[in-house]
Amino acid sequence: MLGVKSTCKDRWRQVLSEAKRIERKHLFTLEPGISENQTSEMAHHMLTLVLPKNLHDSYKAAQQGNLLSMQSFIELAKERQR
Protein backbone atom coordinates (compact mmCIF):
# COMPACT_ATOMS: atom_id res chain seq x y z
CA MET A 1 0.00 0.00 0.00
CA LEU A 2 1.39 3.39 -0.97
CA GLY A 3 -0.40 6.50 0.24
CA VAL A 4 0.58 9.93 -1.04
CA LYS A 5 0.50 13.18 0.92
CA SER A 6 2.50 16.24 -0.13
CA THR A 7 2.90 17.09 3.56
CA CYS A 8 2.40 14.74 6.49
CA LYS A 9 1.68 16.76 9.61
CA ASP A 10 -0.99 14.63 11.30
CA ARG A 11 -2.55 13.57 8.00
CA TRP A 12 -0.30 10.51 7.81
CA ARG A 13 -2.76 8.83 10.19
CA GLN A 14 -5.32 8.88 7.36
CA VAL A 15 -3.21 6.25 5.60
CA LEU A 16 -3.62 3.97 8.63
CA SER A 17 -7.41 4.19 8.50
CA GLU A 18 -7.55 3.92 4.69
CA ALA A 19 -5.69 0.60 4.73
CA LYS A 20 -6.63 -1.07 7.99
CA ARG A 21 -6.36 -4.60 6.58
CA ILE A 22 -2.88 -4.07 5.13
CA GLU A 23 -0.13 -4.75 7.65
CA ARG A 24 2.80 -2.88 6.06
CA LYS A 25 1.99 0.59 4.73
CA HIS A 26 4.09 3.11 2.82
CA LEU A 27 3.63 6.86 2.52
CA PHE A 28 5.19 8.95 -0.23
CA THR A 29 5.73 12.57 0.80
CA LEU A 30 7.77 15.60 -0.18
CA GLU A 31 8.00 16.88 3.39
CA PRO A 32 11.57 17.24 4.66
CA GLY A 33 12.69 16.62 8.23
CA ILE A 34 9.64 15.24 10.02
CA SER A 35 10.19 15.04 13.80
CA GLU A 36 11.71 11.95 15.38
CA ASN A 37 8.60 11.51 17.52
CA GLN A 38 6.38 11.32 14.43
CA THR A 39 8.65 8.96 12.51
CA SER A 40 8.91 6.71 15.59
CA GLU A 41 5.13 6.61 15.84
CA MET A 42 4.90 5.85 12.10
CA ALA A 43 7.33 2.96 12.50
CA HIS A 44 5.32 1.66 15.46
CA HIS A 45 2.28 1.54 13.16
CA MET A 46 4.35 -0.21 10.45
CA LEU A 47 4.28 2.80 8.15
CA THR A 48 7.41 3.49 6.12
CA LEU A 49 8.12 6.89 4.59
CA VAL A 50 9.02 6.97 0.90
CA LEU A 51 10.84 10.15 -0.11
CA PRO A 52 12.91 11.45 -3.00
CA LYS A 53 16.51 10.44 -2.24
CA ASN A 54 17.62 14.09 -2.02
CA LEU A 55 15.34 14.61 1.02
CA HIS A 56 16.80 11.75 3.08
CA ASP A 57 19.57 14.01 4.41
CA SER A 58 16.95 16.31 5.98
CA TYR A 59 16.22 13.48 8.45
CA LYS A 60 18.43 12.52 11.38
CA ALA A 61 20.63 9.43 11.10
CA ALA A 62 18.39 7.48 13.50
CA GLN A 63 15.39 8.13 11.24
CA GLN A 64 17.05 7.30 7.93
CA GLY A 65 16.96 3.56 8.59
CA ASN A 66 13.18 3.62 8.14
CA LEU A 67 13.15 5.67 4.91
CA LEU A 68 12.89 4.40 1.35
CA SER A 69 13.56 6.18 -1.91
CA MET A 70 10.94 5.88 -4.62
CA GLN A 71 13.34 3.66 -6.59
CA SER A 72 13.72 1.34 -3.57
CA PHE A 73 9.95 1.19 -3.15
CA ILE A 74 9.48 0.28 -6.82
CA GLU A 75 12.10 -2.48 -6.51
CA LEU A 76 10.34 -3.78 -3.36
CA ALA A 77 6.97 -3.82 -5.14
CA LYS A 78 8.45 -5.68 -8.14
CA GLU A 79 10.08 -8.22 -5.83
CA ARG A 80 6.82 -8.86 -3.98
CA GLN A 81 4.97 -9.42 -7.25
CA ARG A 82 7.29 -12.26 -8.25
pLDDT digits (tens, 9 = 90+) for 30-53: 999 999 999 999 999 999 999 999
Counting residues of the chain whose pLDDT is more than 90, the rounded percentage is 79
Residue 7 CA to residue 76 CA, distance in Å, equals: 23
pTM score, two decimals? 0.89
Distances (CA, A) of 29 to 15, 19, 34, 72, 81: 12, 17, 10, 14, 23
Q: Which residues pair with 69 in a beta bridge?
A: 51
| Mean pLDDT of the 23-32 span | 94
Euclidean distance between CA atoms 50 and 71, whole angstroms: 9
